[in-house]
C-alpha cells in the first residue's frame, strides 16, 4: 500500500469523543518505550507524525491519524509505566479498556513487544484480556535491528511457544519490525491493506 497522505486528527481520553467516521481503524498498544510511536512514523514514512521519546510515558492520550483519507491509525499510551501514580494508572486503564471494548471501527490491533525480551507478564496478561474480550490482534516484535537474524528467529519462536503452551490454541499472527531500519514495513501495510479491501468490499 502506498501512503499518499497521513495527518493527525485529534487526541482524546474519551472513546465517545473519538472521530465518528465509520472507516477502518488499527490501534498500536504495548509497554511504554516499546516503540509504538516510532513504528507509526516508520509505517507512514513521516519523521515526526507521532511524538516519540527515549523516556517512557511520552504518549498520553488516544491519538488518531487519518491515512489516505480512508482509514485511521491510533497511537496509544504505553502500559506498565512505573512512574505514574496508582490513581493515574486506574484512569489510564479505564479509558484504554473503554476504547478497546467500545470502539466499533477498530478492525485489528497490534500488540508491540520488544524482540530482545522474554515474554513479560504484563504483555501476556494484556493479550489474555484481549482474547477474553474477543478483540482481534496481531503481535509486532519491535527493535529487530538490535539483534542478529538467528537470535530473532529463536526469540520469536520461543515467544510464540509460550503463547501456545499457555492459553492460545494458535499463536496470533506476528510481524518482525525495526523502525530505524524500516524492517517489516511492507508486511504490516499489506496486512492492513487486505483488511481494508475486505471492509470496503463488504460495503
Minimum separation from the CB atom of position 42 to ligand GTP (A): 7
* Burial class of residue 199, CB neighbours in 10 A (0-12, 13-18, 19+): middle
Q: Tell me, what DSSP letter sits at residue 72?
A: E
Closest residue to Mg ion, Cβ-based? 59
Of the candidates 68, 26, 11, 70, which has an alpha carbon nearest to the alpha carbon of residue 44?
68
Residues in contact with ligand GTP, shown as a per-residue x/- string from 73 to 112 under the rule CB under 6 A: ----xx----------------------------------
Q: Cβ closer to ligand GTP: 52 or 196? A: 52
The three three-digit cell numbers of residue 46, written as one number: 513521516
Instruction: Kindly state the number of chain residues that form the binding site for ligand GTP, as judged by CB under 6 A.
Output: 23
Of the candidates 172, 182, 186, which has an alpha carbon nearest to the alpha carbon of residue 142?
182
Minimum separation from the CB atom of position 31 to ligand GTP (A): 7
Minimum separation from the CB atom of position 60 to ligand GTP (A): 8
Round to whole Å and give the CA distance between 62 and 84.
17
Grouping H, G, I as helix, E, B as strand and the rest as coil, residue 157 is helix
User: If binding is defined by CB under 6 A, does position 155 make contact with ligand GTP?
Assistant: no
| 124 to 38, 108, 160: CA distances (angstroms) | 22, 18, 11
Taking CB under 6 A as the binding criterion, the range among 16-24, 26-34, 152-160, 190-198 that sits at the site for ligand GTP is 26-34
Minimum separation from the CB atom of position 75 to Mg ion (A): 6
Residues that bind ligand GTP in the complex, under the rule CB under 6 A: 32-38, 52-54, 56-59, 77-78, 142-143, 145-146, 178-180
Amino acid at each position: 500500500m502506498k501512503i499518499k497522505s497521513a495527518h493527525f486528527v485529534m487526541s482524546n481520553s474519551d472513546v465517545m469523543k473519538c472521530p465518528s467516521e465509520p472507516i477502518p481503524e488499527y490501534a498500536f498498544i504495548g509497554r511504554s518505550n516499546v516503540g509504538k510511536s516510532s513504528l507509526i512514523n516508520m509505517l507512514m514514512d513521516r519523521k515526526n507524525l507521532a511524538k516519540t521519546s527515549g523516556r517512557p510515558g511520552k504518549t498520553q492520550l488516544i491519538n488518531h491519524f487519518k491515512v489516505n483519507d480512508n482509514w485511521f491509525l491510533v497511537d496509544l499510551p504505553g502500559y506498565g509505566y512505573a512512574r505514574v501514580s496508582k490513581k493515574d494508572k486506574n484512569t489510564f486503564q479505564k479509558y484504554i479498556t473503554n476504547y478497546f471494548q467500545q470502539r466499533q471501527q477498530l478492525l485489528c490491533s497490534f500488540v508491540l513487544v520488544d524482540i530482545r525480551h522474554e515474554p513479560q507478564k504484563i504483555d501476556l496478561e494484556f493479550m489474555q484480556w484481549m482474547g477474553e474480550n474477543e478483540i482481534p490482534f496481531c503481535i509486532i516484535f519491535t527493535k529487530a535491528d538490535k539483534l542478529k537474524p538467528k537470535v530473532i528467529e529463536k526469540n520469536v519462536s520461543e515467544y510464540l511457544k509460550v503463547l501456545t503452551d499457555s492459553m492460545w490454541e494458535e499463536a496470533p499472527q506476528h510481524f518482525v519490525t525495526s523502525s530505524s531500519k524500516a524492517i517489516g514495513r511492507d508486511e504490516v501495510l499489506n496486512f492492513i491493506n487486505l483488511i481494508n479491501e475486505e471492509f470496503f468490499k463488504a460495503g
